[in-house]
């Protein structure tokens, strides 16, 4: 159990941030959610949480806190592709502002990085020691490189200012409160299955994904918060499935009559993605517990 009593969650009105707010409130902490509501919704945030409407790209003042979970960032391809420069600004200026405030407050920070820092990986599964294969100028680079810069900034703050910051590299996570219609695979598949419309699989569907249920992810982030570890630490579920298999399972758990259709592959869409979670197990005593099929059944019930 953390000793921290007050926490800030940036991006706390979004999918992951709101589940983190829930978990921190459950721990009895006073929580402030900092969000510009660009993709998140105030309705996602539990009533006990104080809402602070702010864009982290602008300098901001955070309330006194012992813990800052920095999750504010457009996260789905349509969201970050709609605002390429804004995404780089959020990852760069936004992370800088949040780290600077955490330094002033003497807070521990957990920075939400991503498996996208591995790009289209040449090493499989991905361990934290792998430096990645990112196209620095492709359309997706605004997200990938912003997160890589955020990691660099976190480690620079640690070295130069002794900031107590830890980096988690989050792999694809799913669960309730994913924004429908934002192009992410599972909400899209669920919406299509519910309407008995064809599920649209990009490319031939043999590309793989490793999908982590949000409750497992939240446990991992809090374990990182409670530790003094710098990371980076992969958080994700190593169970690797093809996108085609995911589509079939969604059809099954929703009892849908949908078929599967193939549409064009996405630019720089990674072929394979699978976390090696040895480090999380060794440093944090964490591993995911919810297999995909059970997680999809939970999601079918809860969304
Ligand atoms: P989300 O879009 O649901 O949440 C992001 C939140 O940040 C939203 O509430 C949005 O309004 C807010 N936000 C965006 N830009 C902001 C700004 N400039 N100032 C203030 N608030 C801002 O996405 P999510 O899936 O919950 O992702 C949360 C974090 O986790 C992101 O940093 C994302 O990169 C990271 N992540 C998520 C996944 C995943 O599978 N969901 C995987 C890897 C990394």
pLDDT string in tens for the chain (303-residue length) = 445 699 999 999 999 999 999 999 999 999 999 999 999 999 999 999 999 999 999 999 999 999 999 999 999 888 999 999 999 999 999 999 999 999 999 999 999 999 999 998 899 899 999 999 999 999 999 999 999 999 999 999 999 999 999 999 999 999 999 887 777 889 999 999 999 999 999 999 998 889 999 999 999 999 999 999 999 999 999 999 999 999 999 999 999 999 999 998 776 666 778 999 999 999 999 999 999 999 999 998 877
Given 80, 143, 157, 174, the catalytic residue? 143
How confident is the model at residue 2, as a pLDDT? 47
* Pocket flag, ligand 1, residue 35 (CB < 6 Å): yes
> Separation of 123 CA from ligand 1 center, angstroms?
26
Helices (H), ranges, 140-213: 141-161, 185-194
How confident is the model at residue 110, as a pLDDT? 98
pTM: 0.95
> Is the dihedral angle over the CA atoms 78, 213, 264, 127 positive or is it negative?
positive
**283-297: burial string, b at 16+ Cβ within 10 Å, e else:** bbebebebebeebbe
**Residue with token string 């599967």:** 260
Domains assigned to the chain: 6-173+212-235 (3.40.50.720), 175-210+239-272+290-302 (3.90.25.10)
Give the Cα separation of 253 and 158 in Å (integer).
45
Please say if 157 is a catalytic residue: no
In sequence order, which residues have a C-beta less than 8 Å from that of residue 301 and are 6 or more positions away?
none
Nearest CA to ligand 1 atom 6: 11
DSSP type of residue 184: -
How confident is the model at residue 181, as a pLDDT? 77
Tokens of 171: 């792999």
* Pocket flag, ligand 1, residue 212 (CB < 6 Å): no
Give the Cα separation of 43 and 269 in Å (integer).
32
Please count the helices (runs of H) and the strands (runs of E) in the chain: 10, 13
In sequence order, which residues have a C-beta less than 8 Å from that of residue 52 and are 6 or more positions away?
32, 33, 34, 35, 63
> Separation of 258 CA from ligand 1 center, angstroms?
30
* Pocket flag, ligand 1, residue 177 (CB < 6 Å): no
How confident is the model at residue 301, as a pLDDT? 85
> Separation of 14 CA from ligand 1 center, angstroms?
6
How confident is the model at residue 267, as a pLDDT? 66
How confident is the model at residue 268, as a pLDDT? 62
How confident is the model at residue 120, as a pLDDT? 87
Nearest CA to ligand 1 atom 44: 114
The ipTM estimated for the assembled molecules is: 0.99
Nearest CA to ligand 1 atom 13: 72
* Pocket flag, ligand 1, residue 15 (CB < 6 Å): yes
How confident is the model at residue 264, as a pLDDT? 85
């Amino acid at each position: 159990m953390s000793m921290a009593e007050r926490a800030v969650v940036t991006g706390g009105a979004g999918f992951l941030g709101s589940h983190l707010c829930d978990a921190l409130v459950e721990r009895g902490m006073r929580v402030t959610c900092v969000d510009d509501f660009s993709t998140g919704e105030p309705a996602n945030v539990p009533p006990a949480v104080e809402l602070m409407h702010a864009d982290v790209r602008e300098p901001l003042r955070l309330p006194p806190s012992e813990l800052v979970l920095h999750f504010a960032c457009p996260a789905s391809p349509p969201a970050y592709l709609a605002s390429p420069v804004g995404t780089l600004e959020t990852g760069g200026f936004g992370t800088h502002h949040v780290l600077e405030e955490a330094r002033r407050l003497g807070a521990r920070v957990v920075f939400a990085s991503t498996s996208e820092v591995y790009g289209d990986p040449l090493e499989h599964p991905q361990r934290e020691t792998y430096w990645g294969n990112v196209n620095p100028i492709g359309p997706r680079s605004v997200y990938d490189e912003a997160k890589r810069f955020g990691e660099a900034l976190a480690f620079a703050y640690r070295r130069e200012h002794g900031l107590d910051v830890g980096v988690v590299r989050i792999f694809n996570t799913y669960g309730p409160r994913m924004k429908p219609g934002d192009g992410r695979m599972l909400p899209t598949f669920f919406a299509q299955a519910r309407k008995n419309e064809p599920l649209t699989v990009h490319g031939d569907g043999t590309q793989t994904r490793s999908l982590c249920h949000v409750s497992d992810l939240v446990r991992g982030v809090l374990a990182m918060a409670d530790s003094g570890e710098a990371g980076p630490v992969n958080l994700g579920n190593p169970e690797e499935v093809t996108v085609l298999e995911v589509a079939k399972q969604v059809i099954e758990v929703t009892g849908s009559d949908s078929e599967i259709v193939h549409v064009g592959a996405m630019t720089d869409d990674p072929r394979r993605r699978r976390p090696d979670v040895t480090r999380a197990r060794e440093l944090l005593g964490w591993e995911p517990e919810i297999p995909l099929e059970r997680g999809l059944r939970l999601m079918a019930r809860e969304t």
